[in-house]
Amino acid sequence: MSDTPRVTGLGGIFYVAADPEATREWYRDKLGVDGEYGPQFAWADEPKKNPYSLISHFKDDAYIKPGKGGFMINLRVNDLDGFCADLKKKGVKVLDTADEGYGKFAWILDPNGVKIELWEQVAEELP
């Protein structure tokens, strides 16, 4: 890698919630992610070769709906089918699922109406 100053990855997602503590508890209890300031992730835990995050832009909010706020959070999972089964047992409604070949997807809403896209990366290399 170059020594040139550069962006190295996604640092976080920040948004306003009516009850931040209840939101953190939901992410911990329903999605199994926790941390000192909210859900935290470590790339060292990612089993796929060449894992990546991206920032994607849309002309309108059709893909974001029924989420609120004009944005969506995409979270990587290692076993989408198993994860969705666990979510359903915890009372979380899975809105839809899709297998796009390069990855499998499912969508849920957090307690604030923020749409969460769950993604299991299938391809080992960058698309």
Domain residue limits, the chain:
20-121
- What span, in angstroms and rounded, lies between the C-alpha atoms of 85 and 97? 12
Mind listing the pLDDT tens digit for each residue in 2-33? 677 565 666 678 788 888 889 889 989 998 88
User: Rounded mean pLDDT of the chain?
Assistant: 82
Percent of the chain with pLDDT over 90: 30
Q: Once rounded to an integer, what is the mean pLDDT over residues 32-50?
A: 72
Residues 63-90 pLDDT 10s: 888 988 888 888 888 889 999 999 999 9
Tokens of 85: 């089964």
What would the two tokens of residue 45 be? Answer: 């835990």
| Nearest-angstrom CA–CA distance, 21 and 38 | 9
CATH superfamily for domain 20-121: 2,3-Dihydroxybiphenyl 1,2-Dioxygenase, domain 1 (3.10.180.10)
Q: What is the pLDDT of residue 34?
A: 84
The tally of CA atoms less than 13 A away on the side-chain side of residue 11 is 3
pLDDT above 80 (res 104): yes
pLDDT at 48: 65
